[in-house]
Amino acid sequence: MKPLEHLTSRRSFVLGGLAAGAGTLGAGLLENKIPAVADTGGLTPGDAAILRFLAAAEILETDLWQQYNELGGIQDAEVPGGSGSAAYTGALATLDADMAQYIHDNTEDEFTHFTFINAYLMAHGAQTVNLDRFRTLPSSKATGAQQIGRLTNLMQLTVDTSWWTRYRSRTKNPDFGDTFPQAVPGLAAGQFPAIPRNDGDLSPDDHLQAIANTAGFHFGFIEQGGTSLYPSLAQRVTHPEVLRILLSIGPTETQHFQTWQDKAGNARPLTDPTNGLTFPDLNSPPFGGEDFQTNLIMPEPTVFLSRKFPVCSVIRPTETQGAAAGAVKALAADGLFRGQSQEFFAVINDLATKADAARHGTG
Ligand SMILES: [Fe+2]
Ligand SMILES: [Fe+2]
């Protein structure tokens, strides 16, 4: 199959509002023998379903990153909204002096991800994704946050921190059904805010620092999810240009993840005096060793595809079966959708089911 170069070059024409363009372009694609173009203007239904799920995932990522940026990032023309919380920004800065910049840049990246994918879908006459009707969850009441409806909830998170040991294990891989110990067991066992819920959360110091530390580990959780989601779904796309999109966006999630796991390792060990949440010293017993050591931020080699092969340093997991549904399940278990409507879950699960039903090389 030929790449969709002629479509890409004419995207601005289609996006300019000439809806009829999509049909014209679709006819052109038929001549190129690209399968199943009729209802999606050149994308196979499976490709469109995968892109729609990814657009939804990116909209959700953008929503949560915007909340972080409003209070702990840099507010500017690239990432507008909010006015910042000096105290929260300061607590985040104990993980790295440049945290505010990194939060800003991760936020902007997510915005461009969903905006691009939706524009690409539209350029091919395919249905786009808009979740605005689900912006019903409350904002933080802390000074610095916008008071608008949100898609995601960062104030009652149950953060799975097993990504930490997953990338440090030399013998296990989630694709083999292996499970991994938590870096911060307390975070995975309760419900904790990752942003100040109100100005009362700005003190005492160890409470605010625990909130910033929670954010630090949550950043890694979110971005390792994207790091696996793109290669997992890439195995199901049909058109080379759609593959190019997934292969070009996915590794930016990995760049984010790599940064965040380095920063999470700087989270100061402490116990939150208000709720007992403890961040352990990951370099000392009962932690420590290769599975916890904070400067082991490069992925360790591990088993891949089959134990008969030598170990290999890889992204994990990359199993394609049920990858989209698995991502939704992980985000829901994280507490991000606490308070969302039944309809929201129905829409997201439907997008995931359709993405997971796509098969490489089929219409
Ligand atoms: Fe993204
Ligand atoms: Fe991301």
Q: How far is the CA of 338 from the centre of ligand 1 (A)?
A: 21
* Mean pLDDT lowest among 7-11, 38-42, 141-145, 202-206: 7-11
The confidence score (pLDDT) of residue 41 equals 56
Cβ atoms of residues 342 and 311 within 8 Å: no
Residues 192-199, mean pLDDT to the nearest whole number:
98
Pick the ligand that lies closest to the CA of residue 248.
1
**pTM for this model (two decimals):** 0.89
d(CA 238, CA 228): 19
Pick the ligand that lies closest to the CA of residue 255.
2
pLDDT exceeds 90 at position 52? yes
- Looking up tokens 């696996």 gives 228
pLDDT tens track for 244-263: 999 999 999 999 999 999 99
Q: How far is the CA of 234 from the centre of ligand 1 (A)?
A: 15
Task: Select the more confidently predicted residue: 17 or 329.
Answer: 329
pLDDT band at 32 (very low <50, low <70, confident <90, very high): very low
Residues 136-141, mean pLDDT to the nearest whole number:
98
Q: How far is the CA of 193 from the centre of ligand 2 (A)?
A: 20
The confidence score (pLDDT) of residue 363 equals 61
pLDDT exceeds 80 at position 24? no
Q: How far is the CA of 22 from the centre of ligand 1 (A)?
A: 26
Mean predicted lDDT score pLDDT of the chain: 91
Report the percent of the chain where pLDDT is more than 90: 88
* Mean pLDDT lowest among 25-34, 280-289, 309-318: 25-34
The confidence score (pLDDT) of residue 362 equals 80
The confidence score (pLDDT) of residue 13 equals 33
Q: How far is the CA of 317 from the centre of ligand 2 (A)?
A: 16
Residue type, 327: A
CA nearest to 119, candidates 6, 274, 11, 272? 11
Residues 24-33, mean pLDDT to the nearest whole number:
38
Q: How far is the CA of 228 from the centre of ligand 1 (A)?
A: 12
The confidence score (pLDDT) of residue 42 equals 75
Report the percent of the chain where pLDDT is more than 70: 88
pLDDT tens track for 95-113: 999 999 999 999 999 999 9
Q: How far is the CA of 61 from the centre of ligand 2 (A)?
A: 6
d(CA 218, CA 103): 12
The confidence score (pLDDT) of residue 198 equals 98
pLDDT exceeds 90 at position 273? yes
d(CA 139, CA 155): 9
Q: How far is the CA of 328 from the centre of ligand 1 (A)?
A: 14
Q: How far is the CA of 260 from the centre of ligand 2 (A)?
A: 11
CA nearest to 277, candidates 203, 157, 185, 156? 185
pLDDT tens track for 66-98: 999 999 999 999 999 999 999 999 999 999 999
Query: Distance of CA 87 to CAs 65, 73, 75, 156, Å?
Result: 18, 12, 15, 20
Please state the domain extents for the chain. Answer: 5-357
Q: How far is the CA of 103 from the centre of ligand 1 (A)?
A: 13
Judging by beta carbons within 10 Å of its beta carbon (0-12, 13-18, 19+), is residue 191 exposed, middle or buried? middle
The confidence score (pLDDT) of residue 206 equals 98
pLDDT exceeds 90 at position 320? yes
Pick the ligand that lies closest to the CA of residue 117.
1
CB half-sphere exposure, 112, CA atoms < 13 A: 14
